[in-house]
Structure 1
Amino acid sequence: MTAHSRGPRIIIPATPTPNGDLHVGHIAGPYLAADIYARRLRAEGEQVTLTTVTDDSQSYVVTTAARQGVSPERLCAESTGAIERSLAALGIELTSPDDRALPPVDDHYRAAVTDFVTALRASGRLRLRTVRLPYAEESGLYLYDGLLSGRCPSCEAASAGGVCEDCGHPNNFDQLLEPRYALRPQEPVSLREQRILVLPLEEYRAELEERFEATAARWRPHPLRLVRELLARPLPEIPVTFPGTWGVPAPFEDLAGQIVYPWAEAMPASMYATWWANGSPADVPYDVFWRSGHGTELVYFHGFDNVYHWAVMDLALLLAHEDRYVRPSASVCNEFYELEHAKFSTSRNHLIRAGDLVAGCSRDVARFHLALTCPERERTNFDPAELAAGRLTGPWNALAGVLDTVLAGRDPQEPVPVTEAGRRDSEAFADGMRECFELETFSLARAAALLLARTEQLRDDTTAVARPGDFMLGVRTLLAWAAPIMVDAAARAAADGVDLSLSGARFEKITPFRLPRLTEAVLPAV
């Protein structure tokens, strides 16, 4: 199968919670990786939709708004704007029909969520269950997710409700140890019974195991181990509705006063985002792009703390619709990115926002550094001094100088012959880069390291002047594979007429061109 014979691609980075701006830890996780992967596919002529949507219904919006003394609605609006500006600052281009990066959370969004869960209940997939839920006695609130704090029943680490950020295991209903109301930790919390709708994951065990084994080769070791741990235990019943007021109202008369559980929104939300990104066609339903039978490949990018949701819970929600929807072919999962060897923290102001990062350096320098140091298989550390040192900038600009020397005195319009040896050399580098972007071996860190090594190799090539065509092809191939990461240098080169496609065309001759230079970085404040 050739690249151009594949069906459309849908790439979904984790839905960001609009309770604040994105910081570098967020960007270095799913958003940069998804953007680079999408750019690489487009360079091969693929049809790609890269989209996500803010998860406004999350309870973390409520808790953050309360701490800031603003309404949740205002916090969502301001945070969504900040998130869009941060994505733009780092050159992360979501598919969009207009000048907005993110789709609006509007009546179309809410209708998608409502239709999704209504269809599940109508088909008999959901069950009414009486469960015990933590209840804040004085505030009169049922507690879940960000409203709830305590200790994880699996690893006993401090945890919010829903899932443990440390070990990744879920905690539903009354499972969290020592439950407290996150906004008022001293308030008495009791357990009260409520009747809600759930999806019994155990009923989908066989399909979950089969699907997971089919995609296991595309999982990294840590999330792979977590999914196997989850599947080795009895699978929980997941809430689909929950007593509350912030979110999409549950569309069932017998469950008045309940909302759709926020984590049950992710799949219809992503379907809606895909529909919106493709122009919101009024004559087709919100889920048309996710329907099976079109050869669509669906890929998720998310963090370790979302493995349970995206790999197990959300897959079961798709399976519950039987054969209606495409299944994800891969989940590219990152670990935590730390700042000075401590977790990024908005509450402690221990962070660097995306906009602040690029205020001191070019987007290309920032994107390359984040790719080189991103937390793919283990936690890694963002060091502002390392960014300022600019590991690529010096070698890259020196290479641009060597290319200038090679071009000195040449007619800029006269193509230069390339030898077979030069083609083989460039193709060997391309093969190494290509492997970095395959889903089984996807690695931005390795791609960035190969780009750096190749830049230094070409910079030190003592035969460059003697074989100019081969040298120029080497630089052009370097630039083409750097393009998904170094978007501005690529844009300047493309504007000058440099062919940066990754179609594998055979070069007999190459037209002279200049290599765009990079600007130095300055030390960002922490």
Structure 2
Amino acid sequence: MTAAAWITATPPTPNGELHVGHLAGPYVAADVLRRFLRADGEPCRLTSGLDDHDSVVELCALTQGRKAEEVADGYGEAITVDWRRAGVEFDQVVHPRAEPGHLAQVGALFRELHAEGVIVPRSRLLPHCAPCDRLLHGAYVRGGCPSCGAPAQGNLCRSCARPNDCGDLLDPHCVLCGTPAGLRQCRRLYLPLENFRKELTEYWASVPMPPRLAVLCDRLRHDGLPEAAVSHPADWGVEVPVEGFADQRIDPRFELAAGRLRQQEDGGLAAGPVEFFGFDRAYVHLALIPAVLLARGAALPTGFQVNEQYRLDGRRFSTGARHAVWALDALTEAGSDTLRRHVLSDRPDGRPADFRPAELDATREHLHASWNRWLTGLFSALREDCDGLRPQEPAGGAGWEQLCERLDRAVQDLRCAYGPAGFAPRRAVALLDEVVRLAQDFHAVNAHERDRPSGASRYRAALTAELAIASALTAWAWPVMPEGAARLAEALGLTPGGPVSAAALTPPPPGTRLVPPTGPVFGF
């Protein structure tokens, strides 16, 4: 039996609803790969979770006058609903505080690694806010990144993806009250990544990764692998099960690594996952999680699909700053097909991208003017000239043989764009559009046969050929626009989501009654 492929999408933080930037980053793209592999007959699991214990959740609760549990649960439910509405289907979503045994497993792993000397105590300077009487870490403190100088929060810089130790931030200040922070000695627990230098170096050299990730790995190795703080003085999170640190909580990035171990063990997954995440979290996925996995001899990730920033009005999408277009609003206005196609065609892969609401409208109009107009014309012709049935004639028509050759090349390119090795959603969308343009041109050329007394049979053969292309789209477009592909399959009497192959270019059986939808096929 073939071992299941494993795909992970980095857990979102439930301090707000899902926004369009989330969908443009890990989630829709990961679902595309899952749908392609599963349709191809390959066992596959797509997993994620919710980053309940990130400090930004507690910060959100404090600023809103709510309990952290209420914030995490409320926004966590909203996020899972938005995933479903966007057609993102996970096989497992870890809800940390509701998952049986999760918190105990995190604590047990932490305790074991401390007992083995993998996790060690250190006394380091940590920002302190005198007016708030609070030691600051994570989302509670902001300052300049010690590596690149860009504005950064504690623990991690979103610009260069380099970690910091909070106390080394430039000009740190308290996020709650804005007061410049002082520094105090604080004894915390750390995971020294330098102890894994050899294993991490060999791993980074062996796993395929985009050049920007390779640059980050080289810089981390050149500058000396950091000691990662895995505990913080806090009230929110998983309690540290080590004597002398009862007032501290386990860093949520360590919790993510522990959850990854459990998913691998519970799912019986022999190989590590292909990971989808934003570049700002690259250090976590490249170094911290692999170090924990190495400490337990677990399988490491087999590939990385990383996205850059998705921006709105020139600034990155931000849940905390409420600088976003919320997924629920975009899905309600444009529908899942339109939104999925748009964020995939504009995916910030290899470079940042900018979301513009007018361009989402243009995507919806494109589906109507191109995809739906062609399908509406095809179904109308079949109704008027074939009594709504698939013609008896086999596929044919002027240029059909040449078109089949082009479609065969297109589907081979499409398989490459959908597959893990050449994964390129923007290319996949362009190829699907090309297929529809070819179908429109073929329709226009062969429509003249209808007016020729001796052309009736050739005309019906061309309609059968167009039905073959429509049938192929129920499989070829399924990873990108599953809702529309399902509607089209129902109209043709087919099952959606077949393998992306040339074999999908097969019309329904002769005499099949076609039942086109009353509204648009793709989008709405």
Q: TM-score, normalised by structure 1?
A: 0.86
Q: Secondary structure, in 3 states, of the residue corresponding to 1:475?
A: helix
Check whether the contact 1:360–1:521 (CA below 8 A) recurs between aligned residues: no
Instruction: Name the residue aligned to 2:225.
Output: 235
- Which among 370, 379, 386 is matched to residue 359 of structure 2? 386
Provide the C-alpha distance between the structure 1 equivalents of 2:233 and 2:95, rounded to a whole number of angstroms.
27
**1:5-24 residue pairs with structure 2 within 5 A?**
6-24=2-20
> Which residue of the other structure, out of 199, 203, 206, is the alignment partner of 2:195?
203
Q: Is 1:357 aligned to residue 357 of structure 2?
A: no
- Does the 8 A contact of 1:53 with 1:270 survive in 2? no
CA distance in 1, matches of 2:91, 2:393: 38
2:284 aligns with: 309
Equivalent residue number for residue 477 of structure 1? 472
Decide which of 124, 127, 133 is 1:134's aligned counterpart: 127
Q: Secondary structure at the match of 1:441?
A: coil
1:56 aligned partner: 52
CA gap 1:397/1:514 in 2 versus in 1, 3 angstroms: farther
Is 1:429 aligned to 2:422, yes or no?
Answer: no
How far apart are the structure 2 equivalents of 1:440 and 1:231?
26
Give the superposition deviation at 1:42: 1.3
Moved more, 465-474 or 475-484: 465-474
Q: Deviations over 1:449-491 (max 9, x none)?
A: 1111221121111248454444333332233121111111122
Give % identity.
30
What is the rounded CA distance, in whole Å, between the counterparts of 1:400 and 1:519 in structure 2? Answer: 8
What CA distance in whole angstroms lies between the structure 2 residues aligned with 1:381 and 1:397? 27
Cα pair 1:153 1:177 within 8 Å, conserved: yes
Q: Tell me which residue corresponds to 1:152.
A: 145
1:344 aligns with 2:285: no
Which residue of structure 2 aligns with residue 279 of structure 1?
A: none
For 2:504 and 2:150, how far apart are their aligned partners in 1? 57
Deviation, structure 1 residue 28: 1.0
**2:173 match: secondary structure:** strand
- Tell me what 2:239 maps to: 249
C-alpha separation in 2, matches of 1:413 and 1:459: 19
Amino acid paired to 1:409: C
Rounded Cα–Cα distance in structure 2 between residues aligned with 1:139 and 1:341: 33
Q: Give the alignment partner of residue 190 of structure 1, picking from 175, 183, 190.
A: 183
The correspondence for 1:453, drawn from 405, 416, 434, is 434
Cα deviations by residue, 1:421-462 (Å, 9 ceiling, x for unpaired) = 465443321111111122332111111111112211211112
Deviations 1:280-307 (A, max 9, x none): xxxxxxx3336xxx54351111101000
Name the counterpart of 1:409. Answer: 386
Give the partner amino acid of 1:244: A
Using the TM superposition, give the Cα deviation of residue 204 of structure 1 relative to its aligned residue in structure 2, in angstroms: 1.1
Q: What SS class does the counterpart of residue 254 from structure 1 fall into?
A: coil
Say if 1:201 and 1:235, in contact at 8 Å, map to a contact too.
Answer: yes
Matches within 5 A, 1:11-410: 11-96=7-92, 103=95, 105-106=97-98, 108-186=101-179, 188-194=181-187, 196-216=188-208, 219-272=209-262, 274=263, 287-289=265-267, 295-321=270-296, 323=297, 325-346=298-319, 349-389=322-362, 390=364, 391-404=366-379, 407=382, 408-409=385-386
Q: Which amino acid aligns with 1:476?
A: S
CA-CA distance at 1:410 after TM superposition:
6.6
- Give the aligned CA root-mean-square deviation in angstroms: 2.7
Partner amino acid, structure 1, of 2:473? L
**Higher Cα radius of gyration:** 2
Q: CA deviation at 1:344?
A: 2.4
Deviation track 1:317-338 (CA, whole Å, cap 9, x = no partner) reads: 11111x2x22111111101111
Gaps of 5+ in 2: 448-458
Change (3 A) 1:382 1:137: same
Q: 1:355 to 1:503 in 2, by over 3 A?
A: closer
Higher alpha-carbon deviation: 468-477 or 434-443: 468-477
The alpha-carbon deviation at position 14 of structure 1 amounts to 0.9
- State the match for 1:282 in structure 2: none
Cα distance in 2, alignment partners of residues 185 and 314 from structure 1: 32
Question: Which residue identity does 2:198 align to in structure 1?
Answer: A
Please tell me the residue identity of whatever aligns with 1:38.
R
Alignment match of 1:488 (pick from 480, 483, 488):
483
Q: Please say which of residues 109-118 and 369-378 is displaced more in the overlay.
A: 109-118
Aligned to 1:283: none
Contact kept in structure 1, 2:472 and 2:505, CA below 8 Å: no
8 Å CA contact retained: 1:423, 1:470: no
* Cα distance in 2 between the residues matched to 1:297 and 1:319: 12
- Tell me, which stretches of 5 or more residues in structure 1 are unaligned? 276-286
Q: 1:416 to 1:259 in 2, by over 3 A?
A: farther
Q: Is the 8 A contact 2:132 2:177 kept in 1?
A: no
Aligned in 2, Cα 1:316/1:476: closer, same or farther, shift over 3 Å? Answer: same
**More displaced, 180-189 or 432-441?**
180-189
What does residue 518 of structure 1 align with?
520
CA deviation string 1:225-259 (max 9, x = no partner): 22332222200011222222211001112322221
**Partners of 2:229 and 2:251 within 8 A in 1:** yes
Q: Aligned partners of 1:508, 1:342: CA distance in 2, in Å?
A: 44
SS of residue in 2 equivalent to 1:331 = strand
Q: Contact (CA 8 Å) 1:426, 1:473: kept in 2 or not?
A: no
Q: 1:12·1:52 contact (CA, 8 Å) conserved in 2?
A: yes
CA drift of 1:411 comes to: 7.3
- Which shifted more, 74-83 or 262-271? 262-271
Q: Secondary structure at the match of 2:104?
A: helix
Hey, what's the Cα distance between the residues in 1 that align with 2:476 and 2:504? 16
The whole-number CA distance in structure 1 between the counterparts of 2:80 and 2:483 is: 19
Structure 1 residues 481 and 515 mapped into 2: Cα distance closer, same or farther (>3 Å)?
farther
**Structure 2 SS opposite 1:458:** helix
Answer whether contact 1:244 1:258 (CA < 8 A) is retained.
Answer: yes
Question: Any idea what SS the aligned residue of 1:253 has?
Answer: coil
Name the stretch that deviates more: 185-194 or 343-352. Answer: 343-352
Q: Does the Cα contact within 8 Å between 2:336 and 2:523 map onto a contact in 1?
A: no
* Cα separation, 2, equivalents of 1:76 and 1:118: 26
Cα 1:507/1:452, change in 2 over 3 Å: closer
Cα distance in 1, alignment partners of residues 502 and 435 from structure 2: 20
Q: Alpha-carbon deviations, 1:121-159, whole Å to 9, x = none?
A: 233322232222222334333221111111101111111
Q: Which amino acid aligns with 1:224?
A: A
Aligned residues of 1:416 and 1:509 also touching (Cα < 8 A): no
Distance 1:135 1:221, change over 3 A: same
Amino acid at match of 1:62: E
Following the alignment from structure 2 to structure 1, what is the Cα–Cα distance between the partners of residues 122 and 48? 32
